[in-house]
Amino acid sequence: MKNRIFLSSPHMSGNEQAYIKEAFDTNWIAPLGANVDGFEAEIAAYAGSEGAAAVSSGTAAIHLALDLLGVGQGDTVFCSSLTFIATANPILYLGADPVFIDSDEESWNISPVALERALVEAKAEDKLPKAVLIVNLYGQSAEMDELMALCNAYGIPVIEDAAESLGASYKGKKSGTFGKFGVFSFNGNKIITTSGGGMLVSDDVEQISRSRFLATQARDQAKHYQHSVVGYNYRMSNVLAGIGRAQLEVLDERVKARRAVFERYVEALGEVDGLEFMPELEGTYGNRWLTTLTLDPEKIKVTPYKLIDALAEENIEARPVWKPLHLQPVFEGCKFYAHGENDDVSQRLFERGLCLPSGSNMSIEEQHKVIEVIIHNLTKTAMK
């Protein structure tokens, strides 16, 4: 069996063990400890935010952010539709209703046009959302200037789901630092990993400190166990934070490596008529977490699923683009604002889209193999 080529697998730096060893040597396995404090300070410094709270997952960080914004039963939260389910699940945890917003072609991210339409309507119905969840898909920044201007005009706080975009920047400002809260994920497939974990960042250090309180069962200051509000068990372990600290040291290298992977795909496949890579907005620097592209069915006869199957036969992992949340059974009946009338961009991106192996630890030979299989399958169908 040939070695499997993964979509995005963990890529250790080699320094992780030193931090883990320190946790063991001092017996700070749990709870919390120097690695957690260090990792929080280092992420805050890296991103340029005032505060950061290390938690057990990106999903937990989103849940905490929504909770801190007072989202509850019967509230609405606007949310990117083209994203992983983890972005929106916490809206349901709190009993609120998601309203999904379409993407635009320029960024694949939340469409300012659709968002504006949704805000105008919500205002007219006196049902403005408690928050807007903006996702930076596959490491590409959303149109933050336009989106922030809109949300500020309506006074709606923004949560930036930067789970996929750690290390990216928009007009020189780091991804995850635009809204009231930003969220990072260190899940195993992300650009850096703690095997599992997340981070909540904000310039509001009081809210960050409250997030730590909520994430440790909301225990009041008292000698006995006293609780006045609902809390969670969401803190990151001190051992895993050690992995994160070593990973963060090489984040910029990882971004460069993923961008180089993307460049090699473009070099090899950029001229294929009907094949388009996810664009990068002017003035922005994406981390190219995953190289993603679309196949135009008018020009390319092989479907994304066929190509995924063909790659799988060669032990290569490729994936469809996220299935939009407004098309997911679990969100049936939720409101959705398309980019244009009869123009559902996220659905089209889903139907035509494909994510290619993009790991920073993929060798050039492995990538050549991926490219070879793709070209072979594109030309095979073209000749038929």
Q: Which residues bind ligand PLP (CB under 6 A)?
A: 57-59, 83-84, 86-87, 135, 161, 163-164, 185, 187, 198
Minimum gap (Å) between residue 161 Cβ and ligand PLP: 5
Minimum gap (Å) between residue 121 Cβ and ligand PLP: 26
Q: Closer CB to ligand PLP, residue 274 or residue 320?
A: 320
Q: Closer CB to ligand PLP, residue 165 or residue 169?
A: 165
Minimum gap (Å) between residue 100 Cβ and ligand PLP: 14
CA of 206: how far to CAs of 4, 108, 213, in Å?
46, 34, 11
Q: Closer CB to ligand PLP, residue 185 or residue 294?
A: 185
> DSSP string covering 15-62, please?
-HHHHHHHHHHTT--SS--HHHHHHHHHHHHHHT-SEEEEES-HHHHH
Q: What is the rounded CA–CA span in Å between residue 173 and residue 26?
A: 37
> In what side-by-side order are the strands of the sheet with 275-277?
275-277, 291-295, 353-356
Under a CB-based contact definition with an 8 Å cutoff, are residues 245 and 19 in contact? yes
Residue 333, Ramachandran bin (φ over 0: left; ψ between -120 and 50: alpha; else beta): left
Helix (H) or strand (E) holding 373, with range, is: helix 364-383
Minimum gap (Å) between residue 81 Cβ and ligand PLP: 12
Q: Closer CB to ligand PLP, residue 83 or residue 346?
A: 83
Minimum gap (Å) between residue 123 Cβ and ligand PLP: 27
Q: Which residue is nearest to ligand PLP (CB)?
A: 58
Residue 216 pairs in a beta bridge with: 233
Q: Closer CB to ligand PLP, residue 49 or residue 81?
A: 81
